[in-house]
């Protein structure tokens, strides 16, 4: 059995480290001293809005761009000046980037031919790689005879065929329609775990990042704002930027005094430092519920209520004008115009000054 189909190969799995990485394009500083450690066999997503520098960071790891300053290491070794073709990396891009005039097997075998692997051996490994992505039957088709999802699977097979140390994925799902995107997303995660390859995945889609990552680095304006497991980022965002970018929140006015906020009569903790004053608090839908009689709460009127299969999501207008989103079981049937009273769980909230 070759390395590619073996279970997690801890000896081969590689760490990737970025130390104080700075990248300028002319006078435009795009990365402002990025520090990142990706563990051996770990799946880390770079998540952030368009233009925050995710692709640039990935291209630096690949060796497709030169660092302005800082160091990139693989397994501790400084690779900053090693060219792309000697970094032992597999890459998949947003566009399928297959050779249109080559069939699926020829596309997949390409990287091995470049490395002068003997033809029989190269074809055998390419077929194994195609089996791995579920396309063993498609080896003689041409790219135009495949769906977008299948073309990305070929791109994945091609990236993995050389058993690279690191897999870099740059928005590989964004050209696909919603259903295929979810299928291939789960497939990528399954493959990554099966092969045990260290993977860095760039996306601006928070749901995608939450679904498949071991850890997510939320980036903003060329910096990492927070890095953590999906649960940590969702449950304990460390800043307004992360709270706003990851998951859904309602913005509720509150005032902070001595590090505590009062929301609808309930006193809650505040994440991080917040001097006394008026703020918006980020409140998750599942932190809000209907108040029982006698509980502190706020009155409101339902504006919309949407059936979402296993739960309902309703938007409630409260007297200060805020629209508050709650999530509740489908057994609670709310309709537009219903009068309700909301209360909030006593969990620490992220706050940001009212603009």
What residues line the site for ligand ATP (CB under 6 A)?
25, 28, 30, 48, 50-56, 204
CA-CA distance, 101 to 87, in Å (whole number)? 28
For 295, list phi and psi in degrees, rounded to 5. -80, 150
Q: Closest CB to ligand ATP among 221 and 325?
A: 221
| Distance in Å, CB of 65 to ligand ATP, minimum | 7
Q: Which is nearer to ligand ATP, 30 or 154 (CB)?
A: 30
CB of 53 to ligand ATP, least distance (A): 4
* Residue among 29 and 189 whose Cβ is closer to ligand ATP: 29
Which one, 54 or 185, has the nearer CB to ligand ATP? 54
Cα–Cα distance for residue pair 47/282, rounded to 1 Å: 19
Task: Judge whether 325 and 313 are in contact, CB under 8 Å.
Answer: yes
How many angstroms separate the first and last alpha carbons of the chain? 60
Q: How far is the CB of 175 from ligand ATP (least distance, A)?
A: 13
Tell me, letter by letter, the H, E, C secondary structure of 131-184. HHCCCHHHCCCCHHHCCHHHHHHHHHHHHHCCCCCEEEEECCCCCCCHHHHHHH
**Which of 10, 77, 85, 5 lies closest to 42, judged by CA?**
10
Query: CB 17 → ligand ATP: shortest distance, Å?
Result: 19
Q: How far is the CB of 90 from ligand ATP (least distance, A)?
A: 19
Contact (CB, 8 A) for 238 and 216? no
């Amino acid at each position: 059995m070759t390395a590619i189909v073996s279970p997690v190969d801890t000896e081969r799995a590689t760490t990737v480290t970025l130390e104080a990485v700075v990248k300028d394009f002319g006078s435009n500083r795009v990365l402002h001293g990025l520090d990142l450690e990706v563990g051996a066999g770990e799946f880390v997503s770079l998540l952030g809005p368009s233009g925050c520098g995710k692709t640039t960071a990935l291209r630096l790891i690949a060796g497709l761009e030169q660092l302005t300053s800082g160091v990139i290491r693989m397994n501790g070794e400084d690779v900053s000046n090693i060219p792309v073709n000697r970094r032992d990396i597999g890459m998949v891009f947003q566009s399928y980037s297959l050779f249109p005039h080559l069939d699926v097997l020829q596309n997949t075998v390409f990287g091995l031919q470049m490395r002068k692997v003997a033809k029989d051996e190269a074809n055998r490994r390419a077929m194994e790689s195609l089996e791995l992505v579920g396309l063993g039957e498609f080896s003689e088709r041409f790219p135009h005879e495949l769906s977008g999802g299948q073309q990305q699977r070929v791109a994945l097979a091609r990236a993995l065929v050389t058993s690279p140390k690191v897999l870099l994925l740059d928005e590989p799902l964004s050209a696909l329609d919603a259903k295929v995107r979810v299928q291939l997303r789960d497939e990528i995660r399954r493959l990554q775990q099966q092969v045990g390859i260290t993977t860095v995945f760039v996306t601006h889609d928070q749901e995608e990042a939450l679904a498949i990552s071991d850890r997510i680095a939320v980036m903003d304006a060329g910096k990492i704002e927070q890095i953590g497991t999906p649960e940590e980022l969702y449950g304990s965002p460390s800043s307004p930027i992360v709270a706003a970018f990851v998951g859904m929140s309602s913005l509720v006015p509150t005032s902070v005094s001595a590090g505590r906020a009062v929301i609808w009569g309930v006193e809650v903790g505040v994440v991080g430092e917040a001097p006394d004053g008026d703020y918006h608090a980020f409140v998750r839908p599942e932190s809000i519920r209907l108040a029982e009689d006698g509980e502190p709460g706020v009155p409101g009127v339902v504006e919309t209520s949407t059936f979402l299969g296993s739960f309902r999501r309703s938007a409630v207008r409260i007297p200060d004008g805020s629209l508050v989103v709650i999530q509740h079981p489908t057994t609670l049937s709310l309709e537009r115009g219903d009068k309700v009273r909301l209360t909030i769980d006593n969990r620490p909230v992220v706050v940001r000054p009212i603009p």
